[in-house]
Amino acid sequence: MPASKESGSPLSDANNLTRNNLTPGTASALRLPKEVEADLRAAQLLLDLSAHTEPLWSASAMRVPVARISDALASALKSAYSANRVVRGLEGAEQTLAAEERGLRIADRQSGAPRGVRVSRLLILASDGAERFYRQVESLLRRHGPRVLAVRVAIDADSLGALLFGPGRRARLLMLEHKDAVAAVLLAMAGQWEHSERER
């Protein structure tokens, strides 16, 4: 008698589907924040992040999810900024992540136990950056691995900057630096791809 196959949860199935084919900083083998995993939309969100991707730059093997700037997403970004959870620009993100990585290594040495890695930082990328910019983002993602996820949003740097910082303030990259803000912004994206396809 063949062994019975145990069926997993929708979220487990989604993780199995995506574990094999995307790259660091994308939806590959994602462990989303616990606040997201607890939400009923989590499984579909993970599938959407994996299905709606494009190369980070023209010759890149790294694919990142792409999204539109919906009202819900804009509101979540503004809330994160109001709560001082947003780092503006690539240089600021690099410095913040490097400092965090040093702290995490010290904590790992002190605990003597391996640390489970979940997405805890989210990069929101403008869609009009130069190839050099996206190559730098790729290097950053490869250095910091699965705790950092990047999503490219269909908005230019002028409009993304103006959304949070006011007219004339460009932003090619925003980093959400707290798990609560990361979870809120990810959940703000939930369902937007379904709505886009329905409108076609």
Task: Mention every residue, 6+ apart, whose C-beta is less than 8 A from residue 85.
Answer: 176, 177, 178, 180, 181
The predicted-structure confidence for 97-152, as pLDDT tens digits, reads as follows 998 877 666 655 665 555 557 899 999 999 999 999 999 999 999 998 788 999 99
The 3-state secondary structure of 142-157, one letter per residue: HHHHHHEEEEEECCCH
The predicted-structure confidence for 171-188, as pLDDT tens digits, reads as follows 999 999 999 999 999 999
What is the rounded average pLDDT of the residues 70-98?
96
CA–CA dist 82, 78 (Å, integer): 6
46: pLDDT strictly greater than 80: yes
Q: How confident is the model at residue 11, as a pLDDT?
A: 46
Span 10-199 CATH architecture: 2-Layer Sandwich (3.30)
DSSP 178: S
In the chain, the amino acid numbered 109 is: R
* Six token digits for residue 118: 């979940």
The 3-state secondary structure of 8-40, one letter per residue: CCHHHHHHHHHCCCCCCCCCCCCCCCHHHHCCC
At residue 118's C-alpha, the angle toward residues 71 and 142, to 5°, is 90
* Helical pair 131-144 and 90-111, crossing angle rounded to 10 deg: 10
**What residues does each domain of the chain span?**
10-199
